[in-house]
Structure 1
């Protein structure tokens, strides 16, 4: 709740500054800023990192690219490390992701094997932009349809990942704050102002280029207006596309994933070590009779619930402060208060089997919230792994535990 308040206050302040500067005749263009989800890559430990793969959830230890590491130190440290690791293209001297790179950065521990970055020329860039459909044709396969034919800048990467980890209503509030005439639409420059606020970028800087995202939302020359309905649909489809990839990477084409696979997906972005994760999985397998599995709609509902985790935490905290145990019924009531509906009972039962430490049928609240925060943020805000000598010992322990 407090974070939501600060988010709205930042939007209001930026809106006032933006509009005041326009009345003074300040027409300076706004940087193509996008999203503030700082993506924490696993920490460097004398040339080796621990990563997690979505498919297998197994750690890997490997050497970082010297070029990417050098770039990260020069241009923002660990905040850029993952972007630079996956960015496979270069345009006008700047690194860019393709839509494929963007999706893989959310689902896999390592990028597709390549040597250096491919340089994109003006002719190729023009071909990319001509291929982009208008936002009226947005779908949950938008990024997969573009695949290698498009560019995603670092600010856009931050913005898009923030869309995946923040409540949808926060961005709807931001949209309405910049809709000055109450028409239900915003222009490209107003959208860039929203992005700049979210990414905490400074004013007065030019975007690197007109990207696929901007053309999709506003047209090649920024001639179209974006309405709230279209922006809301874009957010929903982005969320669903990423989750669809993640789910079907594990299901291998089947309509369901096992309860154990679902637990893996919840735990693999956490700061838990391998032995701790094994304890969770063993607890689940000992207490649960493997049933029909988890369907994609159930998985999607749970992901949407996680985006409202702050409201849920407030509701559940009321029970804990009153000394009341968090049973499945109280859990469902708190879920409904935050997202307006209950989760599938079988899904909730699986969650309790994982996070009921004492086996008394009650949720271990603090443990559940901490792990779910990591899952919600997809590891983007996880603490960096230790470095130096401590990092080396951490790296060796992880390697020996495989």
Structure 2
């Protein structure tokens, strides 16, 4: 599939000129999105149809675990009510960014049999370890049932909790930034929930519900101790996940600053 990104004429062959152009593309600041666009643009039209998008995205791992409704309002907002509209590069990047969030919403609805906005902890765990597993560290994965209150009889995970949980994991770099701004070099600083909430007042993106979940996760690492330290943040968002993106789940390619930086295992 990656070879199709270099084959810009889509004739099944990669010429030397196409290879050189692909090499230059990989040096672009938005190389990952550009590469993905070339993979989805199967007829070299510089635009992507709904059929092209569906055909390629179905090869991504999350869709192997849980299907997606390609007749949903979400898809029609991008491709039109009849799904005949093509989208350009910039619209495609936004679609790709929003797609997995929409899949997570659809997954929740699929398990919310009664339509009352709640699912079981086991269903929550299943969604998180399939559709959303790119957001999970080993620590978070091992504590999904505990953090969602699965030990309590009849406990349900509500949609607000589900949304806040996923939103928290997606913005852990911002969480780390807030902590470091307060630590001022003291990386052993332990913050209380009240102190951290106060520090987030300048960041409207972080909600009190997300902070509540953050401290619950943190306490699972040291039961009875209701503080947050850098080591807790790392457990939830380790270094290896810093550069996880929606595009990297589709392609395994590493952009480099220049052609001279290329080596084995890089593109």
TM-score (normalizing by structure 1):
0.39
Q: Secondary structure at the match of 1:269?
A: helix
> What is the match of residue 60 of structure 2?
109
Shift of 1:149: 1.0
Check conservation: 2:79, 2:87, Cα contact below 8 A.
Answer: no
**1:252 maps to which of 110, 114, 117:** 110
Is the CA contact (8 Å cut-off) linking 1:355 and 1:368 kept in structure 2?
Answer: no
| 1:148 match: secondary structure | coil
2:67 is equivalent to residue 67 of structure 1? no
Structure 1 gap segments, 5+ residues each:
1-63, 113-137, 165-238, 392-402
Aligned residue pair count: 215
Retained in 1: the 8 A contact 2:49–2:87?
yes
Pairing partner for 1:81 from 10, 19, 35: 35
Bigger relative contact order, structure 1 or 2, given CA contacts below 8 A and separation 6+?
Answer: 1
Return closer, same or farther for 1:325/1:382 CA change in 2, 3 Å cut-off. Answer: farther
- The question of whether the paired residues in 2 share the 8 Å contact of 1:319 and 1:325 is answered with no
Q: Deviations over 1:119-150 (max 9, x none)?
A: xxxxxxxxxxxxxxxxxxx9896126546311
CA distance in structure 2 between the aligned counterparts of 1:334 and 1:101, rounded to whole angstroms:
45
User: RMSD of aligned C-alpha atoms?
Assistant: 5.0
Is 1:94 aligned with 2:42? no
Where does residue 316 of structure 1 map in the other structure? 179
8 Å contact from structure 2 (residues 47, 87) kept in 1:
yes
> Equivalents in 1 of 2:37, 2:236: separation in Å?
29
CA gap of 1:287–1:151, structure 2 versus 1, over 3 A, is closer
Q: How does 1:39-54 map to 2 (within 5 A)?
A: none
Cα gap change, 1:269 to 1:84, in 2 (>3 Å): farther
- Identify the residue that residue 285 of structure 1 maps to in structure 2: 145
Deviation, 1:318, is 3.1
Alpha-carbon distance in 2 for matches of 1:111, 1:289:
25
Counterparts of 2:198 and 2:57, CA distance in 1: 31
1:252-279 per-residue CA deviation (whole Å, 9 max, x = no partner) reads: 1513454424643796335x8xxx64x5
1:348 to 2:212 alignment: yes
Provide the rounded CA distance (Å) in 1 between the counterparts of 2:199 and 2:76.
32
Pair 1:366–1:104, CA change in 2 (3 A): farther
State the 1:329 CA deviation. Answer: 3.8
Cα separation, partners in 2 of 1:85 and 1:244, compared to 1, 3 Å: same
Structure 2, unmatched stretches of 5+, are 9-17, 64-72, 255-261
